[in-house]
Amino acid sequence: MTRTTPPRPYDLLDLFPGLAGYGRPAVRLHPRRGEPAAEDGSIGGPLLWPAEEPWPVCGLEHEDCADEPFAYTLAWRAYLEDRDRREREGDLDWDVERRRADELEARFDSEEDGEGDATAPPLIPLAQLYYRDVPGLPWPERYDLLQLLWCPRDHPDAETPYNPVFQVRWRSSRSVGAVLDDPPRPLVCNGDYVPSPCVLHPEVVTEYPPNEDLPGALADAIGEWTERIGDPAAYDCAISAAPGWKAVGYGGIWGVVDPYPVECDCGERQLPLFTAASGEFDGGTGTWRPVEDAEAGREAADPVKVVIGRGYTLQLYYCPASEDHPNRTAMF
């Protein structure tokens, strides 16, 4: 099923024609719960991973205060989904549910959680993007598949501390050969960083730079306009950047830290590659809710079940000079 972003509530190009030159395509991925295969684009689904290629691990230090057994995270997520189904069907007894939940927690409390394992933990699949579905990904003359993995734990010494850490793989799917069917899983994780498997419904939209990146006169004019209409968030929340999981484009609304240019060590300004979000939209970005989900329940707002910080966004950048240059991250 396609997903369609409603028209923007304000026609800023009519008010500010100069803004048109700063438009940039972004791809809203619109992940929705499903059972993707390795041949599909996905969030949290299986990867088209060569059987002979070692599975990546994380060698960084981890903060363990929010860690829990990875198997418990999956089991608890499955229990909640089954409980929601029973609730929709009118077959729910809360006394029984409390007992089921207590039994599940007790079972994992009694099991070894692997916290004493000193080996580097394997990463988990985060996203698989086929170029046929997601236009605008870099180096299409060499690659047709982008794979993203991350370590689902907090990393106090990472560039964006106390967040998961990405690893990137650029591939030509034709060269993969035999596919790894059963990749290793970590013993423990922060459950907020484990994505539920989702299929994608990509949609290209136009984004515009954050106000602070626009030329002074244009930025001032847009700022004066938001004051005049009494909606100071009109540009940031309804025009410039789409919320949710997406690829390329401009990114997010700076708020956690002051804006800064994301630059590579080579001096090149890095560009947004992928955005992991705490939900698809919220009360402040409801105008981006797809037309097809107008009557949907809460599952449409948060299908992936990933939470970044206190509901933030984690963005991955790439250097346009070379895919071999280190990727950087920022949290909004």
Q: Are 139 and 113 in contact (CB under 8 A)?
A: no
Is there a single domain that holds both residue 317 and residue 206? yes
In this structure, is residue 154 part of a structural domain?
Answer: no
Question: Are residue 295 and residue 241 in the same domain, yes or no?
Answer: yes
Question: 81, 109, 137: which is the final residue of a domain?
Answer: 109
Per-residue pLDDT of the chain (332 residues; tens, 9 = 90+): 799 999 999 999 999 999 999 999 999 999 999 999 999 999 999 999 999 999 999 999 999 889 999 999 999 999 998 898 888 888 888 888 888 888 888 888 755 554 545 689 999 999 999 999 999 999 999 999 999 999 999 999 999 999 999 999 999 999 999 999 999 999 999 999 999 999 999 999 999 998 888 999 999 999 999 999 999 989 999 999 999 999 999 977 777 777 788 999 999 999 999 999 999 988 778 899 999 998 887 778 899 999 999 899 999 999 999 999 999 999 98
Residues 318 and 250 occupy one common structural domain: yes
Q: Please choose, from the candidates 32, 13, 4, 64, the residue with its C-alpha nearest in 3D space to the C-alpha of residue 189.
A: 64
Q: Is residue 271 part of a domain?
A: yes
| End-to-end Cα separation, the chain, in angstroms | 30
Residue 213 sits in the same domain as residue 287: yes
- For residues 31-66, one letter each, b for 16 or more C-beta atoms within 10 angstroms of the residue's C-beta and e for the rest, the string is bbbbebebebbbbbbbbbbeeeeeebebeeebeeee
**CA dist 6 to 203, 286, 318, Å?**
12, 10, 29
Residue 166 maps to a domain: no
User: Does residue 309 share a domain with residue 259?
Assistant: yes
Express each pLDDT in 270-281 by its tens digit: 999 999 999 998
State pLDDT tens for residues 9-68: 999 999 999 999 999 999 999 999 999 999 999 999 999 999 999 999 999 999 988 999
Domain around 229: 1-31+201-332
Domain boundary (86, 109, 132) is at 109
Asked, for residue 266, whether it belongs to a domain, the answer is yes
From 109, 130, 165, the end of a domain falls on 109
Distances from the Cα of 156 to the Cα of 10, 61, 64, 177, angstroms: 41, 7, 10, 37
Question: Which of 298, 291, 219 lies closest to 5, judged by CA?
Answer: 291
* In a domain? residue 258: yes
Structural domain contains residue 332: yes
Looking at the structure of the chain, the number of domains it has is 2
Domain check: are 243 and 311 in the same one? yes
In sequence order, the β-bridge partners of residue 277 are 313
